[in-house]
Amino acid sequence: MLDPQLIDKLQKKIREILPELISLRRQIHSEPETGLDTFNTSKKIKAVLSKTSMNFKAPLLGSDLIGEIGEGNTIICFRADMDAISHEESSDLPYKSLVPGVMHACGHDGHAAILTGAALVLNEFRDHLPARVRFVFQPGEELICAGKTMIENGVCDDCEAAFALHGWPGLPAGSISTLEGPFFAAGGTFEITVHGKSCHGATPDKGINPIPTAAKIAMGMQYLNDTALRLNNSLATVCVFESGHLENIIPDTAVIKGTVRFLDQGLGDIIETAVRKLIDCAIAEQNGIRADLKFDISYDLPVVNTKKGYLAVKSAAETHAAWIEASSPTMAMEDFAYYLNGREGAMFQLGLGEDYPALHSSIFDFNDDVIGAGVMMFCALALDYRA
Ligand SMILES: [Zn+2]
Ligand SMILES: [Zn+2]
């Protein structure tokens, strides 16, 4: 536990820099960038951090920003993502997105501002740091899993532990929540194309209608979800069913698409085999029909918090925030999973408010009132770190 006097000093410093962090967060919000194209976002962050003694490192993907504060051979990594998503913002905030069709709907603007704040504060308290802290501002968390590439490029090779947060609607504002073990899911997408044979709707015997077979597959997948997958904390949800375009034409194909999530790394292959079997059974009942399955598990690791990482987050939270032990993992995916592969650490949720708009909604806007609590968490994790 941190010394209460040190906590007071940290809180005072955080209050001082809060207006600057809110301003940075809103600037990032109004000029969102997606994927690996976060060059201007990292430039904004670097401009704020240039007044610290941060030792900047060469970027690994061009648009990332990596810097260190402190001394010593023990290194801990703090990671924030900073990419936005392709989504039209529907609110009329004064700092609303200036880029049509792109917005910060996942709160990565808040994550980036919080980690910037932690670097500003820890720079002032660097003589108290028991370890070197590596700050990683990462692009491409959404859809392209750039965290995996950052790890493959060695961003954390010499780090003993890694920590990250995600703002979370539904939890009281400023509260901290996590658990030991799997916390965010692994997963990806699937696409099944059922190939029949097109003909006139009035002469179905002249063709092969792919729709009944596709419907059987979709129903089978629902059964799979309700039984074996649910028992194994996993899912394969059908979200798209597309076929046909006119009332009197039997189409050539029917396409089913959806999302796959699981918490146990080995389950991806097992789910793929189960879906393939289900498809084989459905097509066996209809002569001349065939089906292709594309199964793409792009986030193939779940976020697994280590015991030590979980306890560090819990202890840091108890210095200043409401602590909520998470009752179950979330089925959302996070490429922070790769930072924790073979390394101590944890990901935790920072409550944005109980009735807060959902992540990825068109009215989502990170809650500036919790930035201070997020900064304090990283400061406490760093200053109280025990190798
Ligand atoms: Zn997201
Ligand atoms: Zn996110």
Ligand nearest to the CA of 335: 2
Q: Which CATH class is domain 4-183+302-383?
A: alpha beta
pLDDT of residue 109: 98
CA–centroid distance, 347 to ligand 2, in Å, is 12
pLDDT of residue 387: 84
Indicate the burial class of 261 (C-beta count within 10 angstroms; 0-12, 13-18, 19 or more): buried
Task: Determine the Cα–Cα distance for residues 24 and 29; give it in Å rounded to an integer.
Answer: 8
pLDDT of residue 320: 86
The count of C-alpha atoms lying within 13 angstroms of the C-alpha of 168, restricted to the half-sphere facing its C-beta, is 24
Task: Determine the Cα–Cα distance for residues 381 and 363; give it in Å rounded to an integer.
Answer: 32
> Radius of gyration (Cα) for the chain, nearest Å?
24
pLDDT of residue 23: 98
Nearest CA-CA partner of 326 in 348, 309, 341, 307: 348
CA–centroid distance, 81 to ligand 2, in Å, is 7
CA–centroid distance, 333 to ligand 2, in Å, is 8
CA–centroid distance, 181 to ligand 2, in Å, is 20
CA–centroid distance, 360 to ligand 2, in Å, is 9
Lookup: tokens for 81: 């993502």
CA torsion sign, 345 to 347 to 5 to 133?
positive
CA–centroid distance, 290 to ligand 2, in Å, is 38
User: pLDDT in tens for each of the 387 residues of the chain?
Assistant: 789 999 999 999 999 999 999 999 999 999 999 999 999 999 999 999 999 999 999 999 999 999 999 999 999 999 999 999 999 999 999 999 999 999 999 999 999 999 999 999 999 999 999 999 999 999 999 999 999 999 999 999 999 999 999 999 999 999 999 999 999 999 999 999 999 999 999 999 999 999 999 999 999 999 999 999 998 999 999 999 999 999 999 999 999 999 999 999 999 999 999 999 999 999 999 999 999 999 999 999 999 999 999 999 999 999 888 999 999 999 999 999 999 999 999 999 999 999 999 999 999 999 999 999 999 999 999 999 998
pLDDT of residue 270: 96
pLDDT of residue 365: 98
pLDDT of residue 1: 79
CA–centroid distance, 88 to ligand 2, in Å, is 17
CA–centroid distance, 127 to ligand 2, in Å, is 33
pLDDT of residue 333: 97
Residue pair 275/314 in contact by the 8 Å Cβ criterion = no
CA–centroid distance, 249 to ligand 2, in Å, is 43
At the topology level of CATH, where does 186-299 sit?
A: Alpha-Beta Plaits (3.30.70)
CA–centroid distance, 42 to ligand 1, in Å, is 19
CA–centroid distance, 312 to ligand 1, in Å, is 25
Domain range summary for the chain, segments of one domain joined by +: 4-183+302-383, 186-299
Length of the chain: 387
pLDDT of residue 108: 98
